[in-house]
Amino acid sequence: MLELRGVTKRFGGVVATDNVALEVAQGEVHALIGPNGAGKTTLIGQISGSLQTDVGTVRFLEKDVTALRQHERVRLGLARSYQITSIFRRFTVLDNLALAVQARSGSSFSFWRPVAAEAALFDEARAISGEIGLAGRLGVTAGNLAHGEQRALEVGLALATRPRFVLLDEPMAGMGPEESQRMIALIGRIRASVTVLLVEHDMDAVFRLADRITVLVSGRVIASGRPAEIRADKDVRRAYLGDELAA
Partner 1 sequence: MRKALCITLVLIAFPVAMQWLGYLFYVSFASRVMIYAIAATSLNLVLGYGGMLSFGHAAFVGAGAYVASILVAEGVASAWIGWPAAVAASALLAWVIGAISLRTRGVYFIMITLAVAQMMFYLVNSMKAYGGDEGLTLPRRAELGLGLDLGDEVVFYYVVLFVLLAALYALHRVVHSRFGRVMIAIRENGARVEALGLPVYRYQLLCFVIAGAAGGLAGALLASHGKYVNPNVLHWLQSGTLMIMVILGGVGHLWGGAIGAAVLLGLEHVIADYPLPWLAQVAPNYQQHASLGVGIVLLVIVLFAPQGIAGLISRRKNA
Binding positions for partner 1, rule: CB under 8 A: 48, 50, 69-71, 74-75, 79-80, 82, 86-91, 95, 99-100, 102-104, 106-116, 157-158, 160-161
Residue 76 beta carbon to partner 1: minimum distance, rounded to whole angstroms: 9
Residue 134 beta carbon to partner 1: minimum distance, rounded to whole angstroms: 17
- DSSP for 122-145? HHHHHHHHHHTT-GGGTTSBGGGS
User: What residues does 166 pair with on adjacent strands?
Assistant: 79, 196
Q: Is the dihedral of CA 152, 154, 160, 166 positive or negative?
A: negative
Between 10 and 71, CB nearer to partner 1: 71
Residue 63 beta carbon to partner 1: minimum distance, rounded to whole angstroms: 16
Between 111 and 192, CB nearer to partner 1: 111
Between 108 and 228, CB nearer to partner 1: 108
**H-run or E-run covering 157:** helix 147-160
Pairwise CA distance, residues 124 & 174, whole Å: 28
Pairwise CA distance, residues 109 & 185, whole Å: 37
Between 113 and 234, CB nearer to partner 1: 113
CA distances in angstroms from 84 to 24, 140, 150, 168, listed in the order given: 24, 20, 10, 11
Pairwise CA distance, residues 100 & 102, whole Å: 5
Between 34 and 156, CB nearer to partner 1: 156
Residue 131 beta carbon to partner 1: minimum distance, rounded to whole angstroms: 17
Cα-trace Rg, the chain: 18
Residue 158 beta carbon to partner 1: minimum distance, rounded to whole angstroms: 8
Among residues 100, 96, 72, the alpha carbon closest in space to that of 159 is found at 100
Between 21 and 115, CB nearer to partner 1: 115
Between 116 and 192, CB nearer to partner 1: 116
Residue 155 beta carbon to partner 1: minimum distance, rounded to whole angstroms: 13
Residue 116 beta carbon to partner 1: minimum distance, rounded to whole angstroms: 7
Question: Buried b vs exposed e over 149-162: b needs ≥16 C-beta within 10 Å?
Answer: bbbbbbbbbbbbbe
